[in-house]
Amino acid sequence: MIKVLIPSGALGISVDPDALERGLQMQPDIIAIDGGSTDSGPHYLGTGTCKYSRASVKREWRLLMQARARLGVPLLIGTAGTCGTDSMVQWLLDITREIAAEEGQSLRVATLECSQSPARVAQAFDAGTITPLAGAMPVNREDITGCSNIVALAGAEQINAALQTGAEIIIAGRSTDTAVIAALPLARGCHPGGAWHGAKIGECGALATNNPATGAILIEFDTEGFTVHPTGEGVRATPLTVSAHMLYENADPFILHEPGGHLDVTAATYTAVEDDSSVRVTGSVWHPSERYTVKLEGARLAGYQTISLVLVRDRRYVEAIDQWISQLREAFVQREGSNIAGDYGLEFRLIGSNATLGALETRRQEAHEIGVLVVITAADQQAANDIAKLLNPYLLHYALTPNEPMPTFAFPFSPPEMDRGGLHEFVLNHVMTLERPMDAFALNVVEVGT
Amino acid sequence: MSGSKGHSGLVQDIRSKNAGPFWITIDVFCTDNAAFALLCEALSSQAVADALCTPADRLQRFDIAGLSVIKFSAPREVVQGARADRDMHGASYGVLIKELIDAL
């Protein structure tokens, strides 16, 4: 039997100290936590940076390092620093060094690097070992070499290789959310279907319970299945909350693809345990695949953006907002087009009308004010900012008709132009075939602390 | 999102979320098994595809009786975070389906 404590859904979003403490009292064999995903968009992978503040990551990592020292069990994180690039593995290793020194801890730390050279991935593409997944857009060699960062998602095999180093702390780059939880149970002979299924249920911490905000959860794995134990005060897992979690962020509610195979939970059964807060799950099936593949994620720079926001409160202009925007755009392009070098994008999103859904919006409810969010995309930041400055007088004073007093609209900020920096976009939705699981990954062990 | 009249009364909650950057998934939680059976009958996949402006043959549907959930998944028409994307997490697509159910 293996007990895995998951202190929260991701490092940096908060750890509930009480729920953590109750989890520690259950004597877990490992503390495992996720450090990120693609959920927050392509910026983080594109730039190799973390969504969460260094201060909050360090604060929570310290709590977990203290907990690890108290129990003497491994502490494992996957997808370090939101995107799991090598730069973020080193970033978290630096934080670990700082904490170890401050806490007087002496540690062996294993790092698992998952970044891929775009040139190497392009070679694999040429060799035919890159395969698109369902829903993938077509890519060519240039799309791949144009990526600023590409990562391969580590599975249980790579995580286990890190665990087998005997390190007290394992900092893994991009990993599947489930692999960091399933790895040890799989290595210790627990039921494979149960290991992957339990890992999926635990990957977001307490999200599979009636009180997701409490964060922590403990999964107990064995040779037949797994049992879910929330650790927050008064928190309950029910057959419904647990089984429903297979739906979450999963296109197929019964199938989960992982490196080396897929999980099928069609025949799984969920039973409330006597304490009425835990759930027992059996019947999940793991199907090994013939080829060993790892998923790739890549992001590239797609331009630079500047945004402006102007607020329209005049009833006449609100009622004619589409006409006003159309005329304003036409006038701007006609009068200023020759002053702008290079391609650019100019988009108006009408907050209060259709800013959220765009062309999918079906309602045209009368609004009393409209926020006009202007998004300018150009080849570099200066160009985007210059275009926004050219546009500003139009947003400030453009009149709906030729023979009316010059109107003025509301700007909430000075300067009105806000540079957003680089726009990154996801490129790859593919898997790469490997001869051996460690072929695309690098494992290192270092000593840190006093 | 809770409904209180007509077909909307059959629904306890609707959530939508990315399933990775290239897919969107929408879960319609019905109030009970009877509501689930009624909504399965009333809510066509074509209507959902039309609301999402996606071809019907790209839309996957799962009627999950054990959970009283109807789940729809489809490739995103705009990839998460691309220049034209307006909803980074895909959080608002469920609103369209709620309004579709309200109007049934």
What interface predicted TM-score (ipTM) does this complex get?
Answer: 0.92
Provide the 3-class DSSP secondary structure of residue A116: strand
Let me know if residue A304 belongs to a domain: no
Residues of A in contact with B68 (CB under 8 A): none
Let me know if residue A419 belongs to a domain: no
Residues of A in contact with B62 (CB under 8 A): 252-254
DSSP string of B62-74, one letter each residue: EEEGGGTEEEEEE
Report the amino acid identity of residue A251. A
Tokens for A382, please give them: 């200066």
The predicted pLDDT at position A63 comes to 97
3-state per-residue secondary structure call for A227-242: EEEECCCCCCCCHHHH
Residues of A in contact with B52 (CB under 8 A): 360
Interchain contact, B96 vs A135, CB within 8 Å: no
- Which range marks the domain in which residue A382 is found? 314-409
Interchain contact, A41 vs B81, CB within 8 Å: yes
Flag whether pLDDT at B4 surpasses 50.
no
Same domain for A204 and A351, yes or no, is no
Q: Testing the interface with A: which of B62, B79, B101, B102 to mutate, by most A Cβ within 10 A?
A: B79
Same domain for A206 and A346, yes or no, is no
Tokens for A197, please give them: 């299924």
Same domain for A286 and A352, yes or no, is no
Let me know if residue A25 belongs to a domain: yes
Q: What is d(CA B44, CA A426) in angstroms, rounded to the nearest whole number?
A: 32
Report the amino acid identity of residue A388. A
Let me know if residue A417 belongs to a domain: no
Let me know if residue A309 belongs to a domain: no
Residue A199 dihedral angles phi and psi, to the nearest 5°: -65, -40
Same domain for A32 and A87, yes or no, is yes
Residue of B nearest to A300 (CA): B82
**Distance to chain A for B100, nearest Cα, Å:** 10
Let me know if residue A240 belongs to a domain: yes
Mean pLDDT in residue range B19-34:
96
For A251, the closest of B25, B64, B96 (CB atoms) is B25
Pick from A312, A314, A376: which is nearest to A350 by CA? Answer: A312
Same domain for A325 and A178, yes or no, is no
Same domain for A30 and A120, yes or no, is yes
Same domain for A293 and A327, yes or no, is no
Same domain for A258 and A109, yes or no, is yes
Same domain for A373 and A443, yes or no, is no
Which runs of E-coded beta strand occur in A173-274? 217-221, 225-230, 255-258, 261-264, 269-272
Flag whether pLDDT at B3 surpasses 90.
no
Let me know if residue A358 belongs to a domain: yes
Task: Find out whether A103 and A137 touch, Cβ atoms under 8 Å.
Answer: no
Instruction: Please tell me what DSSP assigns to residue A380.
Output: S
The predicted pLDDT at position B5 comes to 52
Report the amino acid identity of residue A360. L
- Total tally of structural domains belonging to chain A: 2
Secondary element (H or E) of residue A15: none
The predicted pLDDT at position B6 comes to 65
Same domain for A207 and A337, yes or no, is no
Same domain for A127 and A222, yes or no, is yes
The predicted pLDDT at position B2 comes to 40
Interchain contact, A38 vs B80, CB within 8 Å: yes
The pTM of the whole model exceeds 0.90? yes
Pick from A247, A256, A260, A245: which is nearest to A202 by CA? Answer: A245
Report the amino acid identity of residue A22. R
Domain spans of chain B, in order of start: 7-102
Q: What is d(CA A241, CA A229) in angstroms, rounded to the nearest whole number?
A: 12
Q: What is d(CA B60, CA B71) in angstroms, rounded to the nearest whole number?
A: 8
- Given a cut of 50, the residues of chain A with pLDDT beneath it are none
Instruction: Please tell me what DSSP assigns to residue A395.
Output: H
Pick from A391, A442, A445: which is nearest to A165 by CA? Answer: A445
The predicted pLDDT at position A352 comes to 95
The predicted pLDDT at position A268 comes to 96
The predicted pLDDT at position A214 comes to 77
Let me know if residue A307 belongs to a domain: no
Mean pLDDT in residue range B61-77:
95
Task: Find out whether A411 and A396 touch, Cβ atoms under 8 Å.
Answer: yes
Instruction: Please tell me what DSSP assigns to residue A310.
Output: E
Same domain for A393 and A439, yes or no, is no
Task: Find out whether B80 and A262 touch, Cβ atoms under 8 Å.
Answer: no
Residue of A nearest to B27 (CA): A247
For B18, the closest of A240, A249, A302 (CB atoms) is A249
The predicted pLDDT at position A18 comes to 93
Q: In which residue are the tokens 């005049």 written?
A: A314
